[in-house]
Amino acid sequence: MIRYYVRVSSMEQKTDRQLLAYDGADKVYIDKMTGATKERPQLQELLAEVSAGDTVVVKSIDRLSRSTKDLLDIVDSITTAGAGLKILDMNIDTHDKFGEFFLTVLGAIGQLERKTIKERTKEGIVIAKSKGKYTGRKKGAIALKGEPLERFNRFYGLGMNKAELAKEFNVSRPTIYKWIDELKARGEIKEA
């Protein structure tokens, strides 16, 4: 099955250019939101449905992600499922040796980026500690019990989306996803 993924950054932007670029798809997935996060409904659906022998097609690599780490995770999900990836603008298809080589280079770049970030973080902590400015990691969570938990459950149960929850609790959307996962694991959240 050929699965074509299309993404634009906002609801106002048009998908026409991408849709006209490829017409051989069995199924088209369209997200109208930023590529800075991989938490996109249609992308998640694609990744859940992709299976061995499928080909995922994108017009350009930045349609999959604007983050190298997320891009590597997405590509890994596709290849782990036994599917291939075709990037139209770069004429890359992972079904051939050059496409496989591209993925290897992409993986190496991602690994270098992760190591560099880790080293810089450690260096920054050492400097901050030496100046007495490092107090440890910021707390990214509310006390997930009592009244805050009840309030979170109530809003989540009413179907409030992740962006609205993040705004209500004054945290980032990734923090909201972590809370939901943690609360589900603890059995303390009611399904929306």
- Kindly state the greatest CA–CA separation across the chain: 60
Helix or strand (DSSP H, E) at 131: none
9 included as an active-site residue: yes
How far apart CA 142 and CA 129 sit, in angstroms, is 26
Helix H or strand E segment including 92: strand 92-93
Can you read off the two tokens belonging to residue 122? 């450690």
Backbone angles phi, psi at 93, to 5 degrees: -135, 120
Cβ pair 85, 56 in contact under 8 A: yes
Among candidate residues 9, 10, 67, 172, the one labeled active-site is 9
Chain centroid to CA 39: 5
The residues assigned a catalytic role are 9
